[in-house]
Amino acid sequence: MANQSIPQISASIVMFKRSLLLLPLLTSVAIGAEKPEQDRKSFRLSIAQVSTQSAEVANGNTELQRDSLLLNAGVNIPLNRQWSLGVNLGYDRLDYDWRHISLTGANNVSPLFGGDGQIWDHINRYRAGVSLNYRLDKHWAFFLAPQLQYAYADTASFSHAQSYGVVASAMYAFESGNMIGFGVAYLNDIDEVRTVPYLAMRWQINEHWALANPFKAGFSGPAGLELSYQFNSDWNIGFGSSKRTERFLIEDDDIAVEINEWASYIRGGWQATPTISVNLYAGYYFNAELEVTHQATVDMDNQGAAALDIEFKF
């Protein structure tokens, strides 16, 4: 490429949005701290199913259709009026249905399957994290959250797929209840190490409208914005756009595949009971790329997607 600064800028952007992996921990704890004591729910359990349409890869005959099952559980334990401790666990099952795979010719996808050429179909992703939250006063809260993750395809080993990171941050709550947060995330991912600053927010525009980062499980990753409208205590709707990244090991020698894409979506939310909420997503993935660690990058066509997310709080 003629201008060498363009790859450097692109790499910085990728590093930034990957660092937002840990932000859901930050925001859920900080927002929860704003609620009255009687309204807090200590335990959270969510299950989400995400499906995409089939899309062409590398402008050829190869097609990919994806289904994901996402399971998350967490608990936040108040230690006293200022300190609280959180624990989060998660498991994701990502199914990749490859069709009409072309391993030869001008538009082949052989780089996606590593040096040994094994086709990978399933990815397991395990996540665990702890968080320590300190509330200085009614405005300031400080947060520290380490996290451990293993993400690997059926052609790689669990023991080689470790990633870990930690976030240190500060959240400020205005008198209006609006919140903004600043921090630094350190991530030691598969074959990459990054230290990146970030910004998080939740802004209540008026009684019905709010603007925030989309931290729900669905197919909206945390790097983005969602504008939501609250009809009443039970029903709401959201419109958003979000950057998504999935990175997992496909060979034990630090060979990973990373999928980067944007998602625009509409979300319908229903507070079925005080303890159960349901969110249904319909959207569109675009500008998708599949990259093998420092080797090759191929494009994937745009595609529709849908997700169902059910969360229990108790």
Q: Which two tokens stand for residue 33?
A: 């701290």
Does the pLDDT of residue 215 top 90, yes or no? no
End-to-end alpha-carbon separation of the chain, Å? 54
Which whole-number Å values give the CA distances from 314 to 24, 28, 45, 112, 159, in the listed order? Answer: 19, 15, 9, 43, 34
Helix-then-strand count for the chain, H and E: 2, 16
Q: How sure is the predictor about 294, in pLDDT bands with cuts at 50, 70 and 90?
A: confident
Does the pLDDT of residue 221 top 90, yes or no? no
Q: How sure is the predictor about 14, in pLDDT bands with cuts at 50, 70 and 90?
A: very low
pLDDT of residue 220: 55
Most confident of the ranges 27-31, 46-50, 112-116, 184-188 = 46-50
Provide the 3-class DSSP secondary structure of residue 139. coil
Q: How sure is the predictor about 196, in pLDDT bands with cuts at 50, 70 and 90?
A: confident
Greater model confidence, 270 or 23 = 270
How would you class 61 by CB atoms within 10 Å of its CB: exposed for 0-12, middle for 13-18, buried for 19 or more? middle
**Among candidates 312, 246, 309, which has minimal Cα distance to 283?**
309
pLDDT above 90 coverage of the chain, percent = 64
Does the pLDDT of residue 125 top 70, yes or no? yes
What residue spans of 198-288 are helical by DSSP H?
none
pLDDT of residue 28: 44
- Contact between residue 264 and residue 302 where contact means Cβ atoms under 8 Å apart: no
pLDDT of residue 65: 97
Does the pLDDT of residue 55 top 90, yes or no? yes
pLDDT of residue 164: 94
Say how far residue 293 (Cα) sits from the centre of its chain. Answer: 20
Q: What is the C-alpha to C-alpha distance for residues 125 and 138, in angstroms, rounded to an integer?
A: 37
Does the pLDDT of residue 15 top 50, yes or no? no
Q: What is the mean pLDDT of residues 129-144?
A: 95
In which residue are the tokens 């229990």 written? 312
Q: Which residue type, as a one-letter code, is found at position 201?
A: M
Range scoring the smallest mean pLDDT among 7-11, 129-133, 139-143, 258-262: 7-11
Which whole-number Å values give the CA distances from 6 to 3, 10, 12, 18, 19, in the listed order? Answer: 6, 6, 10, 19, 20
- Contact between residue 163 and residue 188 where contact means Cβ atoms under 8 Å apart: yes
pLDDT in tens, 241-254: 988 888 899 999 88
pLDDT of residue 114: 76
CATH of domain 5-313: 2.40.160
pLDDT in tens, 60-99: 899 999 999 999 999 999 999 999 999 999 999 999 999 9
Q: Which residue type, as a one-letter code, is found at position 263?
A: A
pLDDT of residue 29: 41
Q: What is the mean pLDDT of residues 232-242?
A: 94
Beta bridge partners of 177: none
Provide the 3-class DSSP secondary structure of residue 206. coil
Greater model confidence, 110 or 134 = 134
Does the pLDDT of residue 216 top 70, yes or no? no
Q: How sure is the predictor about 32, in pLDDT bands with cuts at 50, 70 and 90?
A: very low
Return mean pLDDT, the chain. 85
**Among candidates 243, 247, 281, 275, which has minimal Cα distance to 262?**
243
| Entry pTM | 0.85
Say how far residue 180 (Cα) sits from the centre of its chain. Answer: 19
Q: How sure is the predictor about 193, in pLDDT bands with cuts at 50, 70 and 90?
A: confident
